[in-house]
Structure formats: structure tokens, C-alpha cells
Amino acid sequence: MNIFLGSLWILIGLGLLVYEPLTGNAAPGIRVGENYINAGWLALTLGAWNGARLWSASSYRKHDEMLREAMLQRDRTRKMEEKPLIEEFRFNDEKPPNS
């Protein structure tokens, strides 16, 4: 969804920025004091915002995958390193196996 919205905002922004020089008509914009800001810049900012959100989401997924893989690797390593119990130090109610 962020790809679609980001692309849409970028196309709208570029269209608004190119509209005024090509036609000679004033493009929609925002008046700040005596200055006039083309609305295309706002649309490009929104496109950049959607791009940042897309990058952030993919970065979070990659980090989460790496963390999950590290935890699985840690569990595998711990299982491989399990040492056999010494029968004298077994303090549960189970009867020791016959030797």
C-alpha cells in the first residue's frame, strides 16, 4: 500500500510542478505570507514520507527475522551442548536406571 500511495503522491507532485511552466497558468498552491509554494512540493513530501514508511517496515521485518534466526540458532546450540546428568546429583523422585 505504501508503494502505491508513494508512487501516486510522486506522480501528482511532479504533475503539479510541471503544470505551471508548461501551461503558464498558476498551479494549485499554498500562500505563506507573500510567498507562494506550489502544492507539488507538498505532494512530493507525502511521497517521500510513504517511502520512509516502506523502508522502515521492511527494515523492521529484516531485524525481526534476524532476531528470530539468532534465537533459533541459540536454542540449537544449547541443545547440542547439553551434558549428561551425573546420577548422584539427580534430585527428583525418579528411580535411577539400572546399570
Please report the pLDDT score of residue 85 as a whole number. 66
Please report the pLDDT score of residue 83 as a whole number. 67
Model pTM score = 0.62
Give the ranges where 24-99 is alpha helix by DSSP (H): 39-80
Please report the pLDDT score of residue 20 as a whole number. 85
Please report the pLDDT score of residue 26 as a whole number. 78
Mean pLDDT of residues grouped by 10 in the chain (99 residues)? Answer: 87 91 82 87 94 92 93 84 67 65
d(CA 14, CA 6): 12
Please report the pLDDT score of residue 67 as a whole number. 94
Q: Where are the domains of the chain?
A: 2-79
d(CA 67, CA 64): 5
